Amino acid sequence: MEGLTKAYPGVVANSDVSFTLKAGEVHALLGENGAGKSTMVKMIYGLVKPDSGRMIWKGAPYAPAEPRAARASGVAMVFQHFSLFEALNVAENVALGMENPPPMGELAARIKAVSEEYGLPLDPSRMVGDLSAGERQRVEIIRCLLQDPKLLIMDEPTSVLTPQEVEILFKTLRQLSAEGTAILYISHKLEEIRTLCDEATILRRGKVVGTCTPRERTAREMAEMMVGAVLTPPERAPRKDWGDTAPALSVKGLSVASPIPFGTALKAVGFDVARGEVLGIAGVAGNGQDELLLALSGEIRSEPGMVTAAGVPVGTLGPAARRRIGFVMAPEDRLGHAAAPDMSLVENAFLTGAIRKGLTRRGFIDWAATRDFAEAVIRDYDVRTPSSGAAARSLSGGNLQKFVIGRELSQAPEVIVINQPTWGVDAAAAASIRQAILDRAAAGAAVVVISQDLDELLEVSDSFAVLNEGRLTVPRPVKGLTIDEIGLMMGGAHGMEVAHHG
């Protein structure tokens, strides 16, 4: 294999990205969420067509029209989300992914042979529904290996694996690379990349910001490249002293189990947020962000004193009771959690606005007032929709996000908790959402923003902390925070411990 180069000027997702991949090399594609990693590999796999630029595969131009063409050239991909049928067994699932599947008996034998050869034990006759996430991933990998790929793309493969499974996976990948298969490995877990990968290309906002040899760099150095050097927060009006004795929101020793499969339990999370303060919580997805939002919204109950608002313990209160005392929340998952997909925007406005906007009279819903509220949100936050009667699922992700954020911020909140405020929203709308959050803080709300976008957090936050495997670092003021310190806070468990004690 000669090398693979490509360039795509002009696109938002990827602009002018080039890199080279040699046979037998494990190459890392590194970047934060939204940096353009997924779009990049989708182009290689033929799911998305580049607007411009070219790819060269084994010395010849390469432009797959669809995944089938990519597979025919020897490119295979294991997706982050599996596409398996739970009610079918392993062999049947593998057969479904093949162009010309051999007879079942023969296929089962080949699956067994390949799985033993690569140290991925797997019984072809087992039902996929009974398999663990790690075993399901093996099905996907073996499905790829049966095609004898020359390039294997792995998108965030370790996000659902246990440490032992990660170890097995890495052994397999090393064996593959020793046999000459090139591996493109997408991740934001720096330590993994250091142990596994030969070369790394670092993406940031769709651009290549650097390349390095991971083994020769520290995790912190790579984190700096990933984040970029522009880390000065914009000037903001000085915060008013509200003269409170107790913080508006205080969390102490918050430990709760996760209700989500493969979720992360929160371990002794603690922080204080005063009125007018914005606390930014960074960290890679799946480190307890969802659980923290659920614990703050009241969907997970905790000991009473673990969460207090203005000195009053609220840990045992549910979402409705917390809204009554001034909480508003915006979960990350808009469709299905923050909003009901099949309900109209009016009904979705009622979903959280019922209490603080006084939309019920003795249990009966005031639909006229609810409609007014929904239409005010649509107007004030520039939500593009034909009418307030449209179903939530008919809106684009960004528009629904504007609606959800607008709905929460329009309720005169005392405490605001938002997970991923600008996920999937265009730049202009993102700026206006951030401004709206800052305005609410200036009006005296205590704000917690959970996000994976570091630039965003540093722009809006007064203090900054990192969530890592369910633990939160000690929040530190953003002003005067150096990139070294952020790198230390973010740089995996080791660096975090330092920050934790310090």
Partner 1 sequence: MLTLEKRPTPSRFWTAATPVVAVLLTMVAGGIMFMLLGKNPFEVIRTIFWDPLFGEFAWYLRAQLLVKAGPLILIAVGLSLGFRAGIWNIGAEGQYIMGAVIGAAVGLAAFPTENRLIYPVMVLAGAFGGWFWAMIPAILKTRFNTNEILVSLMLVYVAQTILAMASTGFLRNPEGSGFPGSRNFSNYKAASNPELIAGTGMHWGVVAAFVTVIAAYVLLQRHLLGFQIKLSGQAPRAARFHGVNPTKLTVLCMGISGALAGLAGLFEVTGPAGQISIDFNVGYGFTAIIVAFLGRLNPIGILLAGLIMALTYIGGEMASTNLGLPSAAIQAFQGMLLFFLLAVDVLSNYRLRLFTAGAGPAKTKTGGAS
Binding of residue 320 to partner 1 (CB under 8 A): yes
Q: Burial of 103 by CB count in 10 Å (0-12 exposed, 13-18 middle, 19+ buried)? A: exposed
How many positions of this chain bind partner 1 (CB under 8 A)? 41
Smallest distance from partner 1 to CB 457, Å? 24
Of 155 and 459, which has the nearer Cβ to partner 1? 155
For residues 208-267, which are near partner 1 according to CB under 8 A?
none
Smallest distance from partner 1 to CB 390, Å? 7
Binding of residue 351 to partner 1 (CB under 8 A): yes
Part in contact with partner 1 (CB under 8 A); list of ranges 159-167, 171-179, 187-195, 391-399: 391-399
Q: Which of 321, 443, 493, 498 binds partner 1 (CB under 8 A)?
A: 321
Of 145 and 392, which has the nearer Cβ to partner 1? 392
Contact 441, 276 (CB under 8 A): yes
Of 109 and 343, which has the nearer Cβ to partner 1? 343
Binding of residue 340 to partner 1 (CB under 8 A): yes
Q: How many angstroms separate the most distant Cα atoms in the chain?
A: 76
Contact 214, 222 (CB under 8 A): yes
Binding of residue 329 to partner 1 (CB under 8 A): yes
Q: How far apart are CA 259 and CA 257, in angstroms?
A: 7
Binding of residue 337 to partner 1 (CB under 8 A): yes
For residues 47-86, which are near partner 1 according to CB under 8 A?
47-48, 66-67
The DSSP 8-state label assigned to residue 101 in this structure reads P
Q: Is 58 left (phi over 0), alpha (psi -120 to 50) or beta?
A: left
Report which secondary-structure segment, H or E, holds 364. strand 364-365
Binding of residue 301 to partner 1 (CB under 8 A): no
Site string for partner 1, 274-293 (x = CB under 8 A): --------------------
Binding of residue 347 to partner 1 (CB under 8 A): yes
Smallest distance from partner 1 to CB 340, Å? 4
Smallest distance from partner 1 to CB 475, Å? 26
Contacts 24+ apart (CB under 8 A), 137-142: 137/78, 137/82, 137/161, 137/165, 137/169, 139/82, 139/84, 139/90, 139/93, 139/94, 140/78, 140/79, 140/82, 140/83, 140/84, 141/78, 141/169, 141/172, 142/94, 142/111, 142/114, 142/115, 142/118
Q: Which of 333, 380, 439, 497 binds partner 1 (CB under 8 A)?
A: 333
Query: Which ranges constitute the DSSP H helices of 7-132?
Result: 37-44, 67-72, 90-96, 104-117
Smallest distance from partner 1 to CB 450, Å? 16
Terminal C-alpha separation, the chain = 49
Binding site for partner 1 (CB under 8 A): 13, 38-39, 42, 47-48, 66-67, 297-299, 318-321, 323, 329, 331, 333, 336-343, 347, 350-352, 354, 360, 363-365, 367, 390-391, 393-394
